[in-house]
Amino acid sequence: MSKLADRVPTGVLAAGLRAAFALPAPVRRLLTGPPRVVDGQTLHPDTQLLLRMQELSGTGWSTSSPATSRASLRRTAALVEGPRLHRVLTRQVRIDEHLKARHYTPQGLPDGSPLLVFLHGGGWVSGDLETHDDLCRHLAVGAGVRVLAVDYRLAPEHRFPAAADDADAAYRYAVANAGELGADPDRIALGGDSAGGNLAASAALSAADADHRPAFLLLLYPSLDATATGGSRDLFARGFFLTRPKMDWFMGHYAPDLSTHHDPRLSPLLAPDLSALPPTYVATAGLDPLRDEGEAFAARLAESGVPVVLRRHDGLIHGFANALGVGTSGREAVAEAIGALRTGLALRRA
């Protein structure tokens, strides 16, 4: 982070960011410059302003070390999150000796509700229950579901397949303890964003032959192919928050052994059979290095006969689901994902 970001309290920076978004459109355009067009898409004005403000304040996502990455992502998330939804009850859940989770229940939600097992993003190295608390609250309230947000082990202290094993354990725990969690065991979904989307897809594949398969799979700009090259990874390699050097850095910490990169637990897109996966909603960002693999995964699901909805959000970048407190684009995209989750789980009951 720059000296400015280090000197100024997060609350002050957040207030300044919100003030920038409240400026009239012509004034915001003076800050950002002319519209940027890449790959036939115009960068959304919200996104262009956010990237410019991060550049000016030095609050981008630093990856100089695992500790710096974690602190940087926590601060970045705090800057763009929305007002806290307080009509949600939370409690800690202990899954096993090393794995815990946070359980969200919207006030007034009856027992026997659907449950979403959610895996946060952060490149398998960073991210935690706090960086994604705002998103989990919106998912719970908007979709009318309980959420079990998993605090899985991070790399490099715990390398692949530790996080994937934790995702599997969390899903199995949710099924075995559905009653205690207030959930309907037949309506348990898996979901996640970015690296968490990778873990959700991996856990869904692992549960494909289980007695209780997931009812739904919610993937927000997921990482699905550790072997991928070219395409969107080249088009948006720099300048759009998630960069290719950052992606290489994360993978080098989580799965440095190249021989593991074809393992479906790390690269679900390479799994030989996807036909047993549940109905799935895949959201990609148009200006995201991970865009192509998310869309390829959706195409493979469709070819395998799995009901799937793919939604590309043109003009948006990786991480939009965390930007619920600035502009409107992130909230609108998350609202669409919430609607898909609610509908998919309602159809399961029917």
194 is a catalytic site residue: yes
Q: Quote the CA–CA distance of 270 and 276 in Å, as a whole number.
A: 15
**Which amino acid would we find at residue 17?**
L
How far is the CA of 63 from the CAs of 166, 249, 309, 320, 323, in angstroms? 24, 8, 33, 19, 20
Contact predicate 21/326, CB 8 Å: yes
Q: Quote the CA–CA distance of 112 and 322 in Å, as a whole number.
A: 28
How far is the CA of 260 from the CAs of 14, 245, 270, in angstroms? 40, 20, 12
120 is a catalytic site residue: no
How far is the CA of 242 from the CAs of 102, 245, 286, 301, 329, in angstroms? 27, 9, 13, 26, 18
166 is a catalytic site residue: no
How far is the CA of 341 from the CAs of 24, 75, 215, 232, 237, in angstroms? 35, 28, 10, 27, 30
Q: Quote the CA–CA distance of 143 and 335 in Å, as a whole number.
A: 9
Contact predicate 344/146, CB 8 Å: no
Among 62, 69, 72, 194, the one annotated catalytic: 194
How far is the CA of 265 from the CAs of 165, 195, 271, 284, in angstroms? 9, 12, 8, 20
Phi first, then psi, for residue 239 (nearest 5°) are 95, 0
Among 288, 292, 313, 329, the one annotated catalytic: 288
Among 103, 133, 318, 329, the one annotated catalytic: 318
Contact predicate 96/39, CB 8 Å: no
Q: Which residues are catalytic?
A: 194, 288, 318
